[in-house]
Structure 1
Amino acid sequence: MKMEIRSKTTFLVKPRTPEWKGYLPLSEWDQTGNITHVPTIYFFKPMRDLDGLVESLTDSLSRVLVPFYPVAGRLRWAEGGRLLLECNSAGVEFTVAESNGGIDQLGDFTPCPEYVWLVPEVDYCRPIWELPLLLVKVVVFECGGFTLSFSMSHAIGDGPSALHFVSEWARMARGEPLKIPPYFDRDVLASPAGRNGLHNLYLTGPEVEFAHPPLLLGQTDSVEERKKETTLFMLKLTKSQVDRLKDKANQLPPRNGHPYSRYECVAGHMWRCVTKARKHEPNQQTTLAVCVDFRNKMRPPVGQGYFGNAVLDVRARSYSGDLVSKSLGYAASRIRMAIDKVTCEYVWSAAEFLRQQPDWTIFQDLHPQGSHDGPFYGNPNIGVVSWLTLPMQGQDFGWGREVFMAPGNHEFDGDTLIFAAPDGTGTIIALLGLQVQHLDDFRKYFHEDIL
C-alpha cells in the first residue's frame, strides 16, 4: 500500500507573552550564503497514547518563543540586498498531518520521496516579509509513531543555534525550565573598531572565498551540469572504518602536528572518491567547501547561547590529478589548510570585505531545496558539511527520545552532510547528492579505498 500523508490543519503559534518589538540588526554572516530554510526531521517510535501531543508541542512552543522571540519575526529587504529582522511576534507556522502508513515503512530512514511530505512546505513565491522564519510539521502515523520536522531560516541562525532552540523547546515540553538563555548581540562578532562604528580594514585576501568555484575544463558556466539527473543516497562508515581512514591519513606527518580529525579524514576520502568517479583530467581544478564554526576563534570567544550565524565557508583547493594520485593525507592536509585560515582576524577581514560591497545579492543563496538553480557544489566541486559535533540526537519532547533524525531531502550534485549515527557506536552517516552516471563508480571507490 502506498503511503499517503494528508494535512489536517495549519495555524500560527505566537509567543505566550508580549516581547520586545522592533528591528534586530543582522550580521554579515546572517545575510550572506544560504538564507533559505533548512529542514530537519525527527522520527519517533510508535506510542500507545499520543493524546495531547499537539497541545503539548504548541503550548511549549509558545513559551519557548518568549526568550527566542526573533524566531517569531519576519525578514525585510533593505538597500543593496541587506536584510532586517523585524521582531513582531507574527508567529511560527505549525502544520498537523496524518498518514495511513506505519513509520516502519521508511526502513532505515534513507531519504526517499515521502520525505518531501514530512517536512513543512515553504512557499518561496510569497514576499519575504510574509514567510515564517520557522515552520513546524507533525505527521502522526497509523501505527502510533510520529515525525516532528522543522524548517528554520538560515538567515536567523546556523546549526548550533537551531539545535539550541530545539533542545530548549524539548526541555519546556518536558516541563523543565530554560537551561541556556539565548542572546542576540551581533557586536560579539565585530572587530573592536567595528563596534565603535569606525572604518577598519583587515583585508588579507578573504575575497577569494567569495569567488565562483572552478568549472569543468572547457566550460564557461555550470548550466548543463545542473541539468543532469542527480540522486541522494546514504552511506555508513563504522568506527573501525573511520579509524582506518584516520590511520591512512596520518601516515604522513600531519599539518601543524595534530592528527587529522574524523572530519578531515572522512571529507578527504569522499573528495577523492567523487573526483575519481567523475574521471577528471589531471589538470582540472576542484574545490571542497568547508563550513567552519568560528565561535571559539573570536577574541573573546563567542559565549554560550549566542543565537545567530557564526560560520564561514572556505574552500580546500587542489588539482584533480594530485588529489587522486597522492595519499589521503594530502587531501586531509588541503582541508586543514583551508580551516586554518579561519582566524579571528580573517573573520573580521571577510566581514569588512562584505561591508564594502554595494550589492549583497551576489553572495546570497535564495533558492529553495530541490531547485536546479540552487547552490552549486557540483562537478568538479564538492561540499561536505559536518554535524559530527552538534548535539542533534536525544530530543525528548515528553514521549521519549527519537529513533532517528535526518536532514530533509537535498539532491544537489556534490552536496554532502555527515553526522553521527544515533546508536552511539561511533558510526558516521553520510548523505551525498551525486549525478546518477557517477554513482556506481563512487560506491566502488568509497569501499575499496578504505582497505
Structure 2
Amino acid sequence: MKVEVVSSEFIKPSDPTPLSLGRLDLSLFDQLTPAIYTPLLLYYPSGKTSPSVDKIRCLKSSLSLLLVHFYPLAGRIRDQLYIDCNDWGVRFLEADVKCSLSDMLVRPQPLEMKMLLPIDMESEEAGTGPILLVQANSFECGGFALGMCISHKIADMGTFGNFLASWADAAVDITKVEPPLFNASTLIPPSIHLAGMPPVELPKAKTITRRYVFDSSKLTALRTRITSKQVTPPTRVEAVSALLWKCISKASLNLGLGRRKSLFSLAVNLRSRMLPPLPANTFGNLVGSICIGMTVDEVTETDLSELARKFKEEKDSYLENHVKKDLVGEKITMTISASAKAFGELISGEGVDFYNCSPWCGFPLYEADFGWGRPIWASHVSTQFKNSIVMMDQVGGEGIEVWLTLLTDHMNELDKVEGLMEFASLNPSISR
C-alpha cells in the first residue's frame, strides 16, 4: 500500500473564539495522562456514495462549524496546565491511496494502516502541538478512510466519541449539535506543581500488534464456559480480559518468567459512575482503572471462571469504595494524586509485567454517518507501546475486536499457547 499526501492545511472555527474563552484549564486527570495521540480509522466503501472530493469538502466545512463548539481542539496545550484556545486550527491532510479499499480489507495490516493516520500516535507533539489531526484518504476504487488522531492529554474515548458523533451531526445539521461541557477542571482542579513539568512518558519497544476477533457466537460460548453457580455471567470485556490474561501469562511462563508479578489494568469511564453523575458530553479525561495483580504462575493456574470473578469483584469494589467515596469533594485531588503515584510505581517497577487494557466498546463509532452512510469498519493500528490492549466492538454484532501489542518474542510465544484461538480468529477479512 502506497499513500501519498497531496495537501495539508489548518481548519479553524468558522467564528473566532471569544477572548473570554481563550483559556481552558486542564484537570488533574488531564495533567497525569501521557502525552500520546489516540488513533482511530473509519472506512467507507465507494458504492453509490458521493465522490471523495465532495466528502472532503463536507468534512472541512462541517469541522469548521463544529469547532465553534469544540474550540479547545483548535488550540494548543501550554505548560502542562491549560489549553490556549487561540484558533490555531486542526491540521487536515488529504491523501491518495494507491490500492483499492477491498484489497486492504482482505487482510488488514496494523503496521501499514498507520500510513492512513495524520501523525504517529507515539509523537511527542501530543503534548505541545496540534490537539487534533485528520487525514482524508481516497482509495483508487472510490473508497474512503477517515484517519484521526486526538491528544490523549485532553481527551479520553468518551470525549473522542462525543466529538465524532457531533461532527457527523454537524455534517447533516449543525443545529443538532449539543455543545460539550468544559467543567472538568472545576470538579478536578489541576496541580500548579505540575506546571512546566514534562508529561508522563510511556516506554517504547520492539513490538508486534495483532488483531483478534471474537465474533458473537464464540464470545457467547466463552461467557457460557466461564459462568458457574459461583460466577454470574461476565460482561464481554470481563470474559475476553480473563482469557487474554491467562493466555498471555502462559506465554510468559514458557519464557521462564513464572515468578514475575503480572498486573492487568482495565480502564473504566467514570462519567456515569461519579457522585453526582456527570453528563456523557463532559469534555476531558474522566477515566479510572481497576488493577488486578498476581504472579504469572498464579494467573496460569487460576481457572477462567475465577479470573473473571476477580475482574467483576475488583470493578464493583472500585466503583463502590473508591469512586463513590474517595472521588468526591475535597478528597478528590489527594485521591487522584495518590493513585497516580502508586500506579506509576507499579508500571515502572522491575520484575513487573503491566498490561494496560482500554475498552472502546459501547462508543458510537459505527454511527458516524456524515451523509454518505455508516462506516463498514472502525480500527486501531499498531503501536510501539508494549503490553497494550484495545478492545473495540465488532461491526454488525455483539463481538469484540482485540488489538494486542506485545514484545516480539512474547508474541511469538503466544502463537504456541492453546486456548486463545478456540474463541478468536486471527485477523479475518472485513466482510462488507
Of residues 228, 233, 245, the one that matches 1:259 is 233
Asked if 1:299 corresponds to 2:275, the answer is yes
The residue aligned with 1:400 is 373
Per-residue deviation, 1:377: 12
The residue aligned with 2:382 is 409
The 3 A distance-change label for structure 1 pair 295 and 112 is closer
Per-residue deviation, 1:155: 1.6
| Contact 2:268 2:287 survives alignment (8 Å) | yes
Asked if 1:435 corresponds to 2:407, the answer is yes
Per-residue deviation, 1:121: 1.8
Of residues 64, 70, 73, the one that matches 1:71 is 73
Give me the whole-angstrom Cα distance separating, in 2, the residues matched to 1:243 and 1:127: 39
Asked if 1:346 corresponds to 2:326, the answer is yes
Give me the whole-angstrom Cα distance separating, in 2, the residues matched to 1:145 and 1:39: 20
The residue aligned with 1:19 is 17
The 3 A distance-change label for structure 1 pair 230 and 187 is closer
Q: Which AA in structure 2 matches 1:428?
A: I
The residue aligned with 1:245 is 222
Instruction: Deviation per CA, 1:206-261: give whole Å up to 9, x if none.
Output: xxxxxx9xxxxxxxxx99xx65x42111111122221222223222523xxx5321
| Contact 2:37 2:150 survives alignment (8 Å) | yes
Per-residue deviation, 1:46: 1.6
Counterparts of 1:298-337 in structure 2, within 5 Å, are 298-337=274-313
Give me the whole-angstrom Cα distance separating, in 2, the residues matched to 1:382 and 1:420: 20
| Contact 1:14 1:62 survives alignment (8 Å) | yes
TM-score (norm 2): 0.83
The 3 A distance-change label for structure 1 pair 394 and 303 is closer
Q: Which runs of 5+ in 2 are unaligned?
A: 192-200, 425-432
| Contact 2:62 2:167 survives alignment (8 Å) | yes
Give me the whole-angstrom Cα distance separating, in 2, the residues matched to 1:120 and 1:378: 36
SS at match of 2:366: coil
Give me the whole-angstrom Cα distance separating, in 2, the residues matched to 1:55 and 1:140: 13
Instruction: Deviation per CA, 1:276-332: give whole Å up to 9, x if none.
Output: 011155543210011111112211100232111110133111122221112112212
Per-residue deviation, 1:421: 0.9
Counterparts of 1:219-298 in structure 2, within 5 Å, are 227=205, 229-251=206-228, 253-254=230-231, 259-279=233-253, 281-298=257-274
| Contact 1:274 1:442 survives alignment (8 Å) | yes
Per-residue deviation, 1:168: 0.8
How many equivalent residue pairs?
400
| Contact 1:318 1:334 survives alignment (8 Å) | no
SS at match of 1:232: strand
Counterparts of 1:9-408 in structure 2, within 5 Å, are 9-21=7-19, 22-47=22-47, 49-50=50-51, 51-77=53-79, 82-108=80-106, 110-121=108-119, 124=123, 128-129=127-128, 131-175=129-173, 177-186=175-184, 189-190=187-188, 227=205, 229-251=206-228, 253-254=230-231, 259-279=233-253, 281-339=257-315, 340-342=317-319, 343-348=323-328, 349=331, 351-353=333-335, 380-408=353-381
SS at match of 1:381: strand
The 3 A distance-change label for structure 1 pair 126 and 153 is closer
Give me the whole-angstrom Cα distance separating, in 2, the residues matched to 1:296 and 1:354: 18
| Contact 1:20 1:87 survives alignment (8 Å) | no
Give me the whole-angstrom Cα distance separating, in 1, the residues matched to 2:210 and 2:352: 17
Give me the whole-angstrom Cα distance separating, in 2, the residues matched to 1:398 and 1:68: 21
Give me the whole-angstrom Cα distance separating, in 2, the residues matched to 1:100 and 1:187: 45
How high is the sequence identity, in percent, across the aligned residues?
A: 24
Give me the whole-angstrom Cα distance separating, in 2, the residues matched to 1:86 and 1:292: 28
**Greater helix percent: which structure?**
2
The 3 A distance-change label for structure 1 pair 94 and 182 is same
Give me the whole-angstrom Cα distance separating, in 1, the residues matched to 2:228 and 2:338: 44
Per-residue deviation, 1:100: 2.1
| Contact 1:8 1:98 survives alignment (8 Å) | yes
SS at match of 1:341: helix
The residue aligned with 1:370 is none
Q: Which AA in structure 2 matches 1:27?
A: S
Q: CA RMSD in A?
A: 3.3
Give me the whole-angstrom Cα distance separating, in 2, the residues matched to 1:71 and 1:409: 25
Per-residue deviation, 1:94: 0.4
The residue aligned with 1:7 is 5
TM-score (norm 1): 0.80
